[in-house]
């Protein structure tokens, strides 16, 4: 049984749109009105189906009158019931109901087609938008928020649009049609039915107001219970280790009791609505029957008309209830559409340059000149960064957490643009190179490895889809992962699951190195990821990385300073500035910030 506001059994209050009118106008203009012809047929067939359905009780009343008159005539010595007339009336009624069903079927089919086309376009627009958004958008939004727009909001919009449009049309047509039919039978009886309506609305309003509070409490306590279960389940080892089972049980009992109380009250009040409405409605039916009987005795209406009127009276409140429920669906739909439109209206990356730079001849000379940057323009974190890397050099970037190491890499790849200053590749400002062309020059091996659900071969070929099988194998051998791949059941055609949990962390890292080797980039960015890997695998990864770096300009974000002793240049960063630079021996000889970092890390490793 639906709870108030149209939510299933207390799904909580419907979220309202901040700009209902504006969002509705945009939805109509940019999406719905592109299917004017289809929507015209939806409206036409919805009206036609409703009319044919509404006429049914009146025709059925004529059949009742025919039977009543026949029975009375038979008792008075007449010919009795005219079954031929009744058959004609029933065939007409059957015809109308068949037409109503056909019209409803066509209307539903057409509206579903329109809705799915709109949903398809919205998903397409969102997918295209995702690739145009700057990285700073994803910094301020969680993955869950973005996924919720693509999945939940689009689904809500699709389902509610399909139902609400047709239900509004049919409900409005039904109310108007029934009112006309009732007035055509008896004005007096219609007034009695309408008087009952405000009483029904008042009852519903009172119950909804009372129960809504408990529905909200139910959702809150359900969240507490779910959170508690998830927390205890996730940390059940710790709970057992510290003998916390009894406390966990007591806390759950308390939350569960609160959920039970609020759930019982909300469901009881929600269940009370329909019996009370039925009771009020039955009072109306009694009043209509009494007045109808009186009018029939006076010969003002027929017995069949009384039956028809009672049927119309019973159906009169149904479309009004549907409109109330549809209003909640509309609110949810427009709120979902608003979030989708807000996403589509987000500022995109700065437009690509019209200049053309031939990246085939790029050798890999990098220069940072007076670079300033802040994720927030009012809060600069890279102050005045200057550094130069020559072709084929190995450049290590070191420093404490928050020094700006990863930020420099993001600027180099143009995930962000500098506030001032410039980054040059072989003398070309990277802003003058198209992002796609720029990123083709770079290969990245990050601390967080990423493999997708697919075969091992497909994952290695991700950076170079045109590569042949022998090139894939050579890349795997260079990354020291070929032997492991051959031990898999299907070798290079073995499928990795979505979480890549069927391979170890070290094997994942080696596969990502093979992917970069196959892509054959001019410049490398390496974020060491060997801290949680066994010594043998670490040696393999370091050897694979050495193979990868041969002849390429390489930037290494170093966490273990012992791994970058042979770097051509070490940039020591602190609070967004290069505070020292030189080789490992030169920096140790200075006995400055780098020497302090290195010695403290060495002491920790020795102590370990």
Rounded Cα distance, 313 and 305, in Å: 12
DSSP bridge pairs for 554: 394, 524
Nearest Cα to 217, choosing from 253, 261, 250?
Answer: 261
CA dihedral 525, 531, 536, 540 (to 10 degrees): 0
As a whole number of Å, the end-to-end CA separation of the chain is 63
Cα angle value 291/296/302 (rounded, 5°): 120
Is 402's pLDDT higher than 60? Answer: yes
Mean pLDDT, range 390-402, rounded to an integer: 84
Q: How far is CA 551 from the centre of its chain?
A: 44
What was the pLDDT predicted at 502? 66
Q: b or e along 487-524 (b: 16 or more beta carbons within 10 Å of the residue's beta carbon)? A: ebeeebeeebeeebeebeebbbbbbbbbbbbbbebbbb
Packing angle, helices 36-75 and 154-185, rounded to 10: 40
Could you tell me which CATH number the domain at 16-344 has?
1.20.1560.10
Rounded Cα distance, 258 and 280, in Å: 33
Tell me which of 57 and 455 has the higher pLDDT.
455
CA dihedral 370, 375, 380, 381 (to 10 degrees): -80
How do residues 218-269 score in pLDDT, each as one tens digit?
766 776 777 777 777 777 777 777 787 888 888 888 888 888 887 777 777 7
Evaluate whether 326 touches 171 at the Cβ level (below 8 Å).
Answer: yes
What was the pLDDT predicted at 388? 86
Nearest Cα to 573, choosing from 411, 383, 416, 429?
Answer: 383
Tell me which of 563 and 181 has the higher pLDDT.
181
**SS3 category, 589:** helix
Residue 371 φ/ψ, nearest 5 degrees? -75, 130
Provide the residue ranges of all domains of the chain, joining segments of one domain with +.
16-344, 362-433+558-565+575-608
Q: What is the 3-state secondary structure (H, E, C) of 151-176?
A: HHHHHHHHHHHHHHHHHHHHHHHHHH
Cα angle value 123/125/130 (rounded, 5°): 95
Note whether 16-344 and 362-433+558-565+575-608 share their fold: no
Distances (CA, A) of 283 to 50, 235, 250, 280: 27, 59, 50, 5
pTM value > 0.75: no
What is residue 397's DSSP assignment? E
Rounded Cα distance, 409 and 526, in Å: 10
Residue 558 φ/ψ, nearest 5 degrees? -95, 130
Nearest Cα to 195, choosing from 209, 206, 207, 182?
Answer: 182
Q: b or e along 159-173 (b: 16 or more beta carbons within 10 Å of the residue's beta carbon)? A: bbbbbbbbbbbbbbb
Packing angle, helices 187-234 and 245-297, rounded to 10: 170
Rounded Cα distance, 290 and 306, in Å: 10
Rounded Cα distance, 411 and 234, in Å: 38
What was the pLDDT predicted at 161? 84
What was the pLDDT predicted at 17? 66
Is 461's pLDDT higher than 80? Answer: yes
Rounded Cα distance, 491 and 484, in Å: 9
Nearest Cα to 10, choosing from 251, 207, 277, 276?
Answer: 207
Rounded Cα distance, 506 and 530, in Å: 8
Is 530's pLDDT higher than 70? Answer: no
Nearest Cα to 561, choosing from 406, 449, 400?
Answer: 400
Q: DSSP string of 59-94? A: HHHHHHHHHHHHHHHHHTTS----HHHHHHHHHHHH
Evaluate whether 133 touches 346 at the Cβ level (below 8 Å).
Answer: yes
Contacts with 539 (C-beta within 8 Å, 6 or more apart), sequence order: none
Cα angle value 362/410/420 (rounded, 5°): 85
Contacts with 479 (C-beta within 8 Å, 6 or more apart), sequence order: 510, 511, 513, 514, 517, 544, 547, 548
**Six-digit token string for 142:** 């969680």
How do residues 413-437 score in pLDDT, each as one tens digit?
888 888 888 999 888 888 888 888 8
Is 503's pLDDT higher than 60? Answer: yes
User: Radius of gyration over alpha carbons of the chain, in Å?
Assistant: 37
What was the pLDDT predicted at 535? 65
How do residues 220-234 score in pLDDT, each as one tens digit?
677 677 777 777 777
Tell me which of 44 and 72 has the higher pLDDT.
44
Percentage of the residues of the chain whose pLDDT score is greater than 90 = 1
Rounded Cα distance, 577 and 23, in Å: 46
Rounded Cα distance, 561 and 397, in Å: 10
Average pLDDT, the chain: 79
Distances (CA, A) of 312 to 58, 175, 252, 372, 603: 9, 10, 51, 75, 89
What was the pLDDT predicted at 11? 39
**Six-digit token string for 326:** 């549809």
Rounded Cα distance, 139 and 135, in Å: 6
What was the pLDDT predicted at 510? 85
Other C-beta atoms lying within 10 Å of the C-beta of residue 249: 11
Contacts with 436 (C-beta within 8 Å, 6 or more apart), sequence order: none
How do residues 73-130 score in pLDDT, each as one tens digit?
767 666 667 778 888 888 888 888 888 889 888 988 888 888 889 888 888 888 888 8
In this structure, whether the domain defined by 362-433+558-565+575-608 belongs to CATH 3.40.50.300 is answered with yes
DSSP bridge pairs for 557: 397, 527
Helix (H) or strand (E) holding 328: helix 303-344
**Six-digit token string for 560:** 């273990």
Helix (H) or strand (E) holding 574: strand 569-574
């Amino acid at each position: 049984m639906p709870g108030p506001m149209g939510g299933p059994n207390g799904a909580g209050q419907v979220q309202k749109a901040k700009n209902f009118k504006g969002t509705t106008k945009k939805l109509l203009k940019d999406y719905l009105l592109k299917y004017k012809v289809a929507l015209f047929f939806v409206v036409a067939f919805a009206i036609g189906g409703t009319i044919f359905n509404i006429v049914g009780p009146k025709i059925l009343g004529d059949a009742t009158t025919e039977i009543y008159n026949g029975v009375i005539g038979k008792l008075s010595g007449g010919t009795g019931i005219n079954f031929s007339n009744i058959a004609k009336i029933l065939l007409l009624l059957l015809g109308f109901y068949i037409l109503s069903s056909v019209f409803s079927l066509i209307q539903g089919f057409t509206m579903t087609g329109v809705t799915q086309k709109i949903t398809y376009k919205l998903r397409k627009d969102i997918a295209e938008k995702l690739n145009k958004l700057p990285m700073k958008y994803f910094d301020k939004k969680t993955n869950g928020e973005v996924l919720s727009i693509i999945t939940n909001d689009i689904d809500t919009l699709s389902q509610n649009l399909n139902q609400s449009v047709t239900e509004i049309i049919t409900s409005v047509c039904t109310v108007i049609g029934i009112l006309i039919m009732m007035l055509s039978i008896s004005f007096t009886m219609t007034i009695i039915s309408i008087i009952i309506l405000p009483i029904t609305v008042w009852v519903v309003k009172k119950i909804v107001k009372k129960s809504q509070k408990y529905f909200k409490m139910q959702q809150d306590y359900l969240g507490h219970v779910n959170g508690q279960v998830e927390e205890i389940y996730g940390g059940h080892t710790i709970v057992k280790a510290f003998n916390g089972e009894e406390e966990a049980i007591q806390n759950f009992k308390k939350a569960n009791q609160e959920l039970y109380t609020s759930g019982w009250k909300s469901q009881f009040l929600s269940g009370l609505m329909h019996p009370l409405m039925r009771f009020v409605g039955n009072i109306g039916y009694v009043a209509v029957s009494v007045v109808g009987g009186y009018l029939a005795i006076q010969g003002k209406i027929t017995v069949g008309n009384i039956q028809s009127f009672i049927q119309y009276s019973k159906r009169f409140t149904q479309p009004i209830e549907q409109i109330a429920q549809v209003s909640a669906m509309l609110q949810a739909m427009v709120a979902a559409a608003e979030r989708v439109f807000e996403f589509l209206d987000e500022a995109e990356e700065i437009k690509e340059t019209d200049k053309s730079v031939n990246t085939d001849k790029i050798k890999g000379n990098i220069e940072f000149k007076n670079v300033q940057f802040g994720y927030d323009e009012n809060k600069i974190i890279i102050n005045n960064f200057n550094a130069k890397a020559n072709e084929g050099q190995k450049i290590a970037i070191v420093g404490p957490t928050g020094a700006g190491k990863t930020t420099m890499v993001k600027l180099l790849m143009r995930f962000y643009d500098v506030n001032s200053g410039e980054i040059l590749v072989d003398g070309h400002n990277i802003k003058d190179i198209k992002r796609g062309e720029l990123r083709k020059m770079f290969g990245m091996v990050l601390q967080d490895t990423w493999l997708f659900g697919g075969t091992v071969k497909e994952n290695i070929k991700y950076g170079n889809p045109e590569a042949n099988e022998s090139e894939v194998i050579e890349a795997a051998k260079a990354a020291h992962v070929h032997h492991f791949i051959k031990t898999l059941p299907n070798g290079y055609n073995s499928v990795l699951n979505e979480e890549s949990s069927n391979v170890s962390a070290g094997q994942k890292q080696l596969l990502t190195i093979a992917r970069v080797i196959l892509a054959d980039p001019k410049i490398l960015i390496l974020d060491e990821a060997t801290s949680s890997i066994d010594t043998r695998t670490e040696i393999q990864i370091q050897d694979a990385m050495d193979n990868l770096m041969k002849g390429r300009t390489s930037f290494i974000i170093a966490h273990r300073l012992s791994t970058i002793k042979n770097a051509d240049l070490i940039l020591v960063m602190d609070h967004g500035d290069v505070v020292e630079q030189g080789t490992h021996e030169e920096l140790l000889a200075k006995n400055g910030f780098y020497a302090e970092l290195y010695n403290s890390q060495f002491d920790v490793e020795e102590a370990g």
